[in-house]
Amino acid sequence: MRDATKAVHHPIISTEGYAALSVPTHRASTIVFEDSDAYATRGQRDLDNYSYGMHGTPTQRVLEAQLTELEGGLRTVIIPSGQAAIAIIFLSVLKTGDHVLIAETAYPPAIGFCRNFLELRGISFSTYPPGIGAGIEEYITDNTKLIWMESPGSTTMEVEDVPAIVSVARGRNILTGIDNTWATPLLFKPLAHGVDFSMQALTKYPSGHSDILMGSVTVNDLDLRKGLRDQMRMLGMHTAPDAISLVLRGLETMALRLTHVGKIAGKFAAQINERGDCEVLFPALPESPGHDIWKRDFSGSSGLFSVVLPEAWEPNLDQALDAMQVFAIGASWGGTHSLIAPMNISANRDTPHARNDRIILRINIGLEDPADIGADLDLFFQLLSAD
Ligand SMILES: *Cc1c(COP(=O)(O)O)cnc(C)c1O
């Protein structure tokens, strides 16, 4: 071989005696085949195998296998974002004429996908109120094919009776899915309760550092997995191995991070609750909606909770937010930084409730020293409640 060829073709070296604790980052578009027959029959390869970089390299297979174990499932699909994961689930189940029933407390862009994408293509949707349990029966129509849950609900944190909803759905041959981003499979295992699609935004706790977008869906059925992968293939979805390797790194510390922020969030949620002048929404608090179900089904809480801002404090909000030193103002959560975001849910609720028109503060507890977090919250509430 001449130099130009040698420059292109990497030598094969031995990896004998080499073992690292980190997962190698395998980047690839092209995957080569051992002979022409292997190439000709590549379309028959199992979905766990390799045929083209778009469908995954060994780096992705490691994350799939690791999430499958944590979820207690059969297979996991990695998707470029949490929102894309929701969309892919819906597209894999729903055809023109079908209906999806979605929690009104679901991540608002998921409802936006129903309204602005599915409905234009002849797939209808309606919402159900949080905490309805077996009452879901009333909301089911003849063409309902999927029930989409989120627990706790976005911003208002209501816990769903997942086993009750699954039981009704199974009796009617309706598939169920859940957005389990708040709990992660460390704190709640949807598949153990019979849910068909367990989805999480890896963007939050699994990646854990506010610098990655990614989603996952875990199932207990190979046909459901094939349905998801078929949609992804049609849409040409691919998740970069470099990003996946950062999620694999984040996962190693996730249990510790979750235990810590769950404890600290519990402490501050209780402290704010004890003030007695504002409503705190956090499933671990006995006063919070669905606390008993949370206690029954979850093994802990993560570090995100909400505070309903009393109307009288609204004029002080901007000044109080701008004075914070530890908390940054921003959406997304589950990273190392404490975050606060004022949320307005009025456009995203169908069931009337006094808090729908209030500003709700979504608070993400990070990994800063709890004393600094506490001092910042004290200052915040002092400024908020000032006359
Ligand atoms: C962030 C989030 C999503 C979307 O995840 P992205 O990766 O940002 O698209 C979905 N559901 C919940 C509950 C989330 O918090």
- CA 199 centroid distance within chain: 6
| Domains in the chain, number | 2
Beta strand segments in the chain, E: 75-79, 99-103, 124-128, 144-150, 175-179, 197-201, 215-219, 279-281, 304-308, 328-329, 339-344, 359-364
What is the number of the ligand 1 atom nearest to the C-alpha of 85? 9
Query: DSSP label at 35?
Result: S
Is the same domain home to 145 and 238? yes
Domain end call among 248, 275, 308: 248
CA 307 vs. chain centroid, Å, equals 21
Q: List the residue whose alpha carbon is closest to atom 11 of ligand 1.
A: 107
243 and 257 housed in the same domain = no
Q: What is the pLDDT of residues 350-378, one digit of tens each?
A: 999 999 999 999 999 999 999 999 999 99
DSSP lists the bridge partners of residue 307 as 280, 361
Tokens for 176, please give them.
């169920």
What's the rounded Cα separation, in Å, for the pair 377 and 327?
9
> Cβ–Cβ contacts within 10 Å for residue 316, how many?
17
Domain of residue 225 covers 36-248
How confident is residue 318, by pLDDT bands cut at 50, 70 and 90?
very high
In this structure, the residue with its CA closest to atom 15 of ligand 1 is 181
* Dist CA 243 CA 212 (whole Å): 7
| Residue 222 shares a structural domain with residue 320 | no
C-alpha distances in Å from residue 150, one per residue of 199, 232, 277: 10, 23, 28
Residue 145 belongs to some domain of the structure? yes
Of the candidates 366, 383, 307, the one whose C-alpha atom is nearest the C-alpha of residue 155 is 307
> Atom 5 (ligand 1): residue with closest C-alpha?
82
pLDDT digits (tens, 9 = 90+) for 35-81: 999 999 998 999 999 999 999 999 999 999 999 999 999 999 999 99
**pTM for the whole structure:** 0.97
- For the CA of 150, the closest atom of ligand 1 is 13
Same domain membership, residue 165 and residue 209: yes
Domain membership flag for residue 64: yes
Question: The CATH number of the domain where 287 resides is what?
Answer: 3.90.1150.10
For residues 107 and 212, membership in a common domain is answered with: yes
The pick from 181, 200, 306 for probing ligand 1's pocket by mutation, whose C-beta has the most ligand atoms within 8 angstroms, reads 181
Does position 331 have pLDDT exceeding 90, yes or no? Answer: no
Domain contains 334:
yes
The pLDDT > 90 percentage for the chain reads 98
d(CA 88, CA 361): 30
Write down which residue in 185, 220, 248 finishes a domain: 248
Q: How is residue 354 written in tokens?
A: 């006094």
Ligand 1 atom at shortest distance from the alpha carbon of 334: 15
Question: Of 248, 277, 309, which closes a domain?
Answer: 248
Query: Tell me, what's the pLDDT at 387?
Result: 83
CA 84–ligand 1 middle distance (angstroms): 9
293 C-alpha to center of ligand 1: Å? 23
* pLDDT 10s digits, 247-282: 999 999 999 999 999 999 999 999 999 999 999 999
Give the atom of ligand 1 at the shortest distance from the alpha carbon of 201: 5
Residue 372 backbone zone (phi > 0: left; psi -120 to 50: alpha; other: beta): alpha
**CA angle (143, 148, 151) in 5-degree steps:** 155
CA angle, 343 then 298 then 156, to 5°: 15
| One domain, residues 314 and 343 | yes
Dist CA 305 CA 381 (whole Å): 16
Query: Atom 10 (ligand 1): residue with closest C-alpha?
Result: 82
User: Comparing 387 with 7, which gets the higher pLDDT?
Assistant: 7
The residues lining ligand 1, judged by C-beta closer than 6 Å to any ligand atom, are 81-83, 107, 154, 179, 181, 201, 203-204, 213, 215, 332
pLDDT score of 12 more than 90: yes
Output helix, strand, coil percentages for the chain, rounded to the nearest 5. Answer: 45, 15, 40
Residue 314 lies in a domain: yes
What's the CATH code of the domain at 114? 3.40.640.10
Burial 188-214 (b: 16+ CB within 10 A, else e): bbbbbbebbbbbbbbbbbbbbebebbb
